Amino acid sequence: MLSFTEIQKLLGDQADHLLNFSNPKISKERLHVPRPTFVKDIFGQSDRSKEVQKNMERIFSTGNLAGTGYLSILPVDQGIEHSGGASFARNPDYFDPENIVGLAIDGGCNAVASTFGVLGMIAKKYADKIPFIVKINHNEILSFPNKYDQIMFGSPEQAKELGASAVGATIYFGSAESNRQIVEVAKAFAQAHKLGMFTVLWCYLRNSAFKVEGLDYHTAADLTGQANHLGVTIGADIIKQKLPTLNGGYKAMNPAGGKSYGKFDERMYTELCSDHPIDLCRYQVANDYMGRVGLINSGGESGKNDLAAAVATAVINKRAGGMGMISGRKAFQKPKKDGIEILNAIQSVYLCKEIAVA
């Protein structure tokens, strides 16, 4: 695990900007921040059953972050989402489901998220050793031409049968298919709750119109925040979202004299948010019922400076009031030793007492 000094060193020029930020637009006191008693305090007063809460307690009691209220999750569904060859060419060992689950366990993760096939293949051996989050829908990219849609690959009942603690799903908010996806996932999440499993929603934006004048608003705080707000509305217990990198998506989509898109209030950009990375992320947390539903940010694709990038994302998420990280490609597209190092570095941020919610 990394020390505070080592975390500072990895952050480099960003250290002061991220670690000493102390004036967020939305105060910490308005948030429901992660803590050891989070499930009891928040979901104990919700409509979630005791069995759902028990499965949630299990994920918060597993791995290196057990008992902290924070989460470090390994997601490996890229074999479908990005094709097996493209995802595992760097490390072919991960074609084997046992190595995926082994990385999550040895890396000290709270849970592993993957497909019906991956988790079902080794369910009897590992379902009682680490919580399973079964991803029930996917974007298949073999049809020609490629299209971007999420289709159901199985049911909550199947996930329950293989020993899952939770189901996960993706909605491409903003896409032409999003209405159907919202209905499908809402029904699946309601059924998962009836079966005693909690739910995790990948709240992604997907529409070429979100790219305006050279800027990509798929990671805008205002648009991703609204996607989160839709996600918690249909019963997500945890929201997975990309870290915001900019703001003003609604404004960009509403040029002077152009078509009207969505609804926004100028105070979203002045009183509820600034351009600081922690404020941008906090706006996402605010849209998750002020943190009653935990925000986990994704680690993104693998690159040259993965260790530093992962640590920076974790610092932003934690200081914003988020619940943790779900990082896959940065970990499994490396030799196992290096993948574990990335996962442990992320966990170090959430274990570090010197790094507090801003």
Q: How far apart, in whole angstroms, are the C-alpha atoms of residue 334 and residue 86?
A: 13
Helix (H) or strand (E) holding 294: strand 294-298
In sequence order, the β-bridge partners of residue 169 are 201
CA distances in angstroms from 127 to 75, 152, 197, 201, listed in the order given: 15, 22, 14, 21
| H helices, E strands: number in the chain | 18, 12
Tokens 């994302």 map to which residue? Answer: 313
CB distance 121 to 95 below 8 Å: no
How many residues in the chain?
Answer: 358
Which residues are within 8 A (CB) of 47 and not within 5 positions of it... i.e. 6 or more apart?
A: none
Residue 168: beta bridge partners?
135, 200
Structure tokens of 49? 């059953």
Active site residue 240: yes
- Tell me the backbone φ, ψ of residue 143, rounded to 5 degrees: -65, 150
The token duo for 153 is: 């690959």
Of 25, 160, 240, 330, which one is the catalytic site residue?
Answer: 240
CB 19 within 8 Å of CB 276: no
- Cα dihedral 309, 314, 317, 318 in deg (nearest 10): -150
Using only C-alpha atoms, the chain has a radius of gyration, in whole angstroms, of: 19
Residues recognised as catalytic:
240
